[in-house]
Amino acid sequence: MEPLGIAIIGCGPAGLAAALLLARQGHAVSVFDQFVSPGPVGSGLMIQPSGLAVLAELGLAAEVVARGARIDALQGIEEHGKTVLDAPYAALGVPHAFGLGIHRASLFDVLHEAALAEPRIAIHAGHAVTGSTCGAGGRRLLFEGREASAPFDLVVDASGWRTRFDPSPKNILPFGALWASLPLAPGDPFAGNLLEQRYRRASQMAGVLPIGMRSGGAGPEVAFFWSLKAEDYAAWEATPLDEWKAEVLRLWPALEGLLARIERREQLTFARYAHRSHPAPVGERMIAIGDAWHSASPQLGQGANMALLDAWSLARGLAEGRTLAEKLRLAAGWRSDHVWLYQWVTKLFTPLYQSESRYLPAIRDRLLAPLSRHWPARGIQAQLMSGLFGFPLAPLGLALPDYAGLSASLTIAAASGEPQS
C-alpha cells in the first residue's frame, strides 16, 4: 500500500484509534485538536463487546480492561420498585462476556499513550479547524488564527457531532444529563458489576456506573448521572444544591451517601446530545467517522464503540481499495447498515427512557419488560446492548475478544491485590 499523508481532526477515541491503525499501515498521520492540552470531555462511558474487539486488535484490550470496571448486566428499576430492565451479558451466549465501565480519561490515556509512542503520528494541539480547501495537490485544513496546513492526501473528520463539515441541522435532543465522577466508599449500596438506573416514568432518570480507577487515582469511582431537559438547566442552576439532592433522593434514597460527595455545583457537568447522521460522510479526499458521521442519545451506550468500529473500517478500506475513492467507499459501505440500524433503534428506544410521555413508560414497564425476560427477546436485548445487533464484526474481519483470557487476568489481578474496580 502506498503511504498517504493523512490529517485527522479530533483527538477523541475515533481520532486516536484511527491514527494508530493508519500509522501502523505505514501512513504519516497528523492529528489536529482545538484544545491546548488534548484530553477527554465527560465522565464515564461503556465499552461494549463491539468496541473491545477493535481494542483487542490494537493490542490495548487488556490495558483498557485493567483500568475499567467489569459490567455483567444493566438493571433498571421504576419508582415503585419494579424491575423494568434486566439485561445480562450472559444472554449473549458468549462465555465470560462482559461490558466495561470506564472513565473517559482512562480510555483517552490508553489511546493517547499508544499514539505518542508511534513515530508516524504527530499530534498538533491548539489547532481549531474552521474548514478546508481541496485542490490538485490534496486537501488543506484551515485554522482559526493560523495559516492553512500543507496539503494532505486524506482528511479524516473525527471532530464529533458539532463538526463544521456537516451543515445540516444538528437535531439536538431535548434531554441531556448531569454527570459527575465520584469516589466509591466501603459500604456503598451499589453493585460493583452493574450499571444501575432508576426511573420516574421517562421524565426522570438517575444512574450509577462503575468506571474503575483512573491512573494516579485514589481509588475506584462511579459515574453518577441525572437526566435533565436542556430548557430546565437554568432553573437547576438557580435551585439550591440540597433541594436538587432531595429531589434525586425521592427517586433513589440509597444515593444519599453518594450525593453527599457532591459538595459544589462545579462537580457536575451538563452534557447535550444530538441525533443526526451526516448525509454525505464521504467527500473528495475526506471521510467522517464517529460522532462526526452519526450521533445519538447515550441510552444504548454505543458512541465510543461505533467510533472504534468506524476507525477499523477506515483502515481496512484503505488496505483493500485500489483507488482512494474506492477505499473510502468501502470504508463507509461496510459500516452503513450497522450505523443505520442503531440510529433507528436508538431513536425508537430513547423516548421510553427520556421523554415527557406518560404512555411510553407504561408500554416499557407493562409490555416490553415482561417480554424481555423470555426467548428470543432476551437474546435480542443483549445483542442490542452489546453493539452486536446486525452482526457488525464479521464484515470487518473482526472477532469477539478473548473474554476467557481477559476474565482470568482480572481474577489474577484482584487476587494479587492490584488496584481494580
* Percentage with pLDDT > 70 across the chain: 96
Class of domain 5-70+105-169+275-356+390-405: alpha beta
Run of H or E residues at 17: helix 13-24
Which of 242, 18, 271 has its CA nearest to residue 123? 18
Point out which residues pair with 180 in neighbouring strands. 224
Assigned C-alpha cell, 412: 489474577
Which residues of the chain are under the pLDDT cut of 70? 39, 41, 411-421
Those residues whose C-beta lies under 8 Å from the C-beta of residue 370, and which sit 6 or more positions away, are: none
Q: Say how far apart CA 210 and CA 189 lie, in whole Å.
A: 12
DSSP, collapsed to helix, strand or coil, labels residue 387 as: coil
* DSSP for 222-242, written as a single string: EEEEEEEEGGGHHHHHHS-HH
- Which residue in the block uniquely carries the three cell numbers 498517504? 4
- Residue with grid cell 459490567, as numbered in its chain: 71
**CB 346 within 8 Å of CB 297:** yes
HSE value, Cβ hemisphere, 13 Å, CA-based, for 399: 3
Which cell is 170 given?
444538528
Q: Max Cα separation, the chain? A: 65
* CA distance linking residue 241 with residue 255, whole number of Å: 15
Which pLDDT value is given to residue 43?
Answer: 80
Cα dist. 142→146, 223, 272 in Å? 8, 37, 27
Exposed / middle / buried, residue 117 (Cβ in 10 Å: 0-12, 13-18, 19+): exposed
Q: Kindly tell me the sign of the dihedral angle through the C-alpha atoms of 349, 250, 223, 383.
A: negative
For residues 225-258, one letter each, b for 16 or more C-beta atoms within 10 angstroms of the residue's C-beta and e for the rest, the string is bbbbbeeeeeebeeeeeeebbeebeebbeebeeb
Residue 149 has φ and ψ, to the nearest 5°, of -75, 170
pLDDT of residue 215: 85
Note the pLDDT of residue 37: 76
Distance CA 120, CA 136 (A): 24
**Phi, psi (deg, nearest 5) at residue 31:** -105, 130
Q: How many residues does the chain have?
A: 421
Q: Give 138-168 pLDDT, tens digit per residue.
A: 999 999 999 999 999 999 999 999 999 999 9
Nearby residues of 46 by Cβ (< 8 Å), 6 or more positions away:
71, 99, 100, 101, 102, 195, 209, 301, 304, 305
Q: What is the pTM of this model?
A: 0.96
- Residue pair 248/198 in contact (Cβ under 8 Å)? The answer is no
pLDDT, residue 420, reads 46
* C-alpha closest to that of 342 among 313, 300, 283, 377: 300
